[in-house]
Structure 1
């Protein structure tokens, strides 16, 4: 009886250890604006990048400013339309974009506070670009047809649709008692847009060089700095340690990326796909070769952009990245109030790239990249 009791006790202990529910505690938490929702739009690229710029303003000046995400979107759509029409429809036109598109927009058009440009028209309270995009697609397909003479008025027609659904552009405004233009407001924030770089890791391109990443949403042909995988991750860790956040482009199509549970992991065993969302399980070791394979067979695509603002760890001491999402924090998405806790293996496998301040990079990396 005594032996049986001890055996049962040991088995019970072993089971409790192997089926541990996640318990997280904060390791690093960098100040950022609250989670908000992009609504029924494909504008995560602007929500991610704008949240990143907000955090940069806090880091640089200590000032919290709720920036307009839709101002960047409003100024990027004409560029996407131009790309589609001038390539005679042989390019992608859609709602997607990348982090550097917001930087490009800000360089040309500046930035504005959310209170100045919400991107909502009339009594509308939630973002929904479905009708706007449908109308733009019909218009642009007509003008992208090489058999039809291109009328210069097409650009005006694009702006009419954007104004109708998002509101007219802002030339001058008052913020906290002072008058600004979008460009002078950018200057006031102390953001230096040339200080931001995008890093990634792919084996089909030389390391420590820039290249144009061949993904559908890179309509503006943005350049990426290519690093070995471990160095890519080490630079992310270094940035967070030094108090810098990062804008993240990643694949979120995996079953083990869950907004409901607020977790993103890569189980070692496929049989753990469901249980790993709530219980600690072993994760797969990610190599550069496997990462590249998953990218080239389209298992890893640039689905969604978010904002890395810190780190947490579970009761076993395993580290996860705290990622701010833009799907809101209502009851539909209950995990960690709109944040995702992303494991290191998941980031190594599914992160397309990160946008970060160049001073957040490791010293040796900056030297290799001549930054």
Structure 2
């Protein structure tokens, strides 16, 4: 999910994870749901590039709903700590490490393991311009004399723009620190990141070579048929799947609420690899898969909860064809059944 420079605005218009697709195709497909997991209200990431955080938190939320629990988690809390890290990297590298709001789903898991998490109602802000805040952090980094000064200045900025952090989390009569609360909603090793590419051996983990994986997260590599079976099996067993993939295809239509491949070609492991190496499959966006459906012709689709608001044909949900998921998935994060 690359943050492209202004010179390539036209390209960014088809790759940015914060873009609302403005294709007003009025034809609405009818779907029959085979599986639809519970989910928290659809959120709107606005013009931020925080889809990875929205999607992975939504995955955790749905997992708890399926267990009879109710939890709605704060993206702003994660954004605060991610930006704090970014400011530190920028300062120590003398600006070599450029600040970014982008990331991957496994990064979210690492951040909550390290910094904790808060409920949405405990820490949320509206209409935050994170891009503006990031520019301000660059200025603070460039003008700070040491890390202590930068940290203090960044904390004041966060308190002013997002809000002061509560010291405790209160949930169902219990009191937690943010770390204790995080460990109560997501245990270490609870989720497994998977991908499917042939430039690495199957059955091994590797650092996935996409721009947003700057934190060098590991992904377990499996054949695509294994990944597709894992997605279906997880959903039918009541477990959501965090999906990271390509939304730059002309067949990905947010307003219509459907993602389909427009070209008929062999859908194989080799074709996936060719598309990835030719940069025709790009790492654009994250959503959470919460169900399985079929259309009037029996064609299978996976139901995704997006984070672009509710302004589409299905109130913010998307229906991704099975072929689209097979060809255009960069990676998934699933419940680790071997825990």
Place the TM-score, normalised by the shorter chain, in its bin.
0.7 to 0.9
Helix, strand or coil for the counterpart of 1:81? helix
Residue 134 (structure 1) shift: 1.8
- Segment drifting more, 84-93 vs 319-328: 84-93
Instruction: Report the counterpart of residue 290 of structure 1 in structure 2.
Output: 271
Instruction: Report the counterpart of residue 45 of structure 2 in structure 1.
Output: 38
TM-aligned CA distance change 1:266 to 1:163, over 3 Å: same
Deviations 1:336-367 (A, max 9, x none): 110110011111221111111111xxxxxx6x
Helix, strand or coil for the counterpart of 2:314? helix
TM-aligned CA distance change 1:319 to 1:127, over 3 Å: farther
Instruction: Report the counterpart of residue 173 of structure 2 in structure 1.
Output: 177
Deviations 1:194-231 (A, max 9, x none): 12110001111111111111111112111100111111
Question: Which protein is richer in helix relative to its size?
Answer: 1
Helix, strand or coil for the counterpart of 2:315? helix
1:303 paired with 2:284, answer: yes
Contact 1:38 1:44 in 2 (8 A): yes
TM-score, scaled to structure 2 = 0.86
CA RMSD of aligned residues (A): 2.1
Contact 2:250 2:262 in 1 (8 A): no
Helix, strand or coil for the counterpart of 1:309? strand
Helix, strand or coil for the counterpart of 1:347? helix
1:55-134 to 2 correspondence within 5 Å?
Answer: 55-60=62-67, 62-118=68-124, 120=125, 125-134=126-135
Residue 234 (structure 1) shift: 1.2
TM-aligned CA distance change 1:151 to 1:72, over 3 Å: closer
Helix, strand or coil for the counterpart of 1:153? helix
TM-score, scaled to structure 1 = 0.79
TM-aligned CA distance change 1:80 to 1:151, over 3 Å: closer
Contact 1:212 1:222 in 2 (8 A): yes
Could you list the runs of 5+ residues in structure 1 that have no partner in the other structure? 1-19, 144-148, 269-282, 360-365
Larger Rg: 1
Separation of aligned partners in 1, 2:157 and 2:210: 27
1:137 paired with 2:138, answer: yes
- Segment drifting more, 291-300 vs 303-312: 291-300
TM-aligned CA distance change 1:334 to 1:202, over 3 Å: same
Separation of aligned partners in 2, 1:340 and 1:163: 35
Could you list the runs of 5+ residues in structure 2 that have no partner in the other structure? 1-26
Separation of aligned partners in 2, 1:35 and 1:170: 25
Instruction: Report the counterpart of residue 237 of structure 2 in structure 1.
Output: 242
Separation of aligned partners in 2, 1:286 and 1:111: 40
1:188-267 to 2 correspondence within 5 Å?
Answer: 188-189=184-185, 191-267=186-262
Q: Per chain length, whose mean CA-contact separation is higher, i.e. which structure has more relative contact order (CA < 8 Å, sep 6+)?
A: 2
TM-aligned CA distance change 1:68 to 1:152, over 3 Å: closer
Separation of aligned partners in 1, 2:96 and 2:196: 28
Residue 103 (structure 1) shift: 0.9
Contact 1:256 1:265 in 2 (8 A): yes
Instruction: Report the counterpart of residue 326 of structure 2 in structure 1.
Output: 348
Deviations 1:32-55 (A, max 9, x none): 112111122111111101111111
Instruction: Report the counterpart of residue 5 of structure 1 in structure 2.
Output: none
Aligned residues: 313
